[in-house]
């Protein structure tokens, strides 16, 4: 939405106002949780290095360790980024 606004109007003031409105909604708790959920396809067993898995594959692996089901090849896994290390891309 913000990119569409930027490229259609080329007005940074409008972009800033839009972002401030959205951040105000988030801080007030009026934004739906689904706006913060990412879904990414996983291909378990095909990653070269298990130490550096993509976020969705990491979630799927932790779920499997807790006794949950392993996602099927190509299945989309939902996750939310809460915090990350500064060294992670």
Bigger pLDDT: 86 vs 38:
38
Q: What is the C-alpha to C-alpha distance for residues 54 and 20, in angstroms, rounded to an integer?
A: 31
Smallest CA-to-CA distance from 38 within 82, 74, 81 is with 81
* Confidence (pLDDT) at 84: 66
What DSSP assignment string belongs to 75-87? -EEEE------TT
Stronger pLDDT, 22 or 82, i.e. the higher one = 22
Note the pLDDT tens digit of each residue in 20-57. Answer: 999 999 899 998 888 888 898 988 778 787 677 888 88
Counting Cα atoms < 13 Å in the Cβ hemisphere of 46 gives 8
Residue 69, both tokens: 């089901």
More confident residue, 65 or 8: 8
- pLDDT category at 89 given cuts 50, 70, 90 is low
């Amino acid at each position: 939405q913000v990119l569409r606004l930027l490229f259609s109007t080329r007005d940074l003031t409008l972009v800033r106002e839009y972002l401030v409105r959205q951040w105000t909604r988030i801080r007030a708790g009026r934004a739906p949780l689904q706006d913060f959920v990412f879904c990414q396809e996983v291909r378990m067993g095909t990653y070269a290095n298990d130490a550096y898995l993509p976020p969705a594959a990491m979630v799927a692996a932790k779920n499997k360790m807790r006794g949950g089901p392993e996602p099927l090849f190509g299945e989309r896994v939902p996750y939310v980024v809460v915090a990350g290390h500064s060294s992670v891309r």
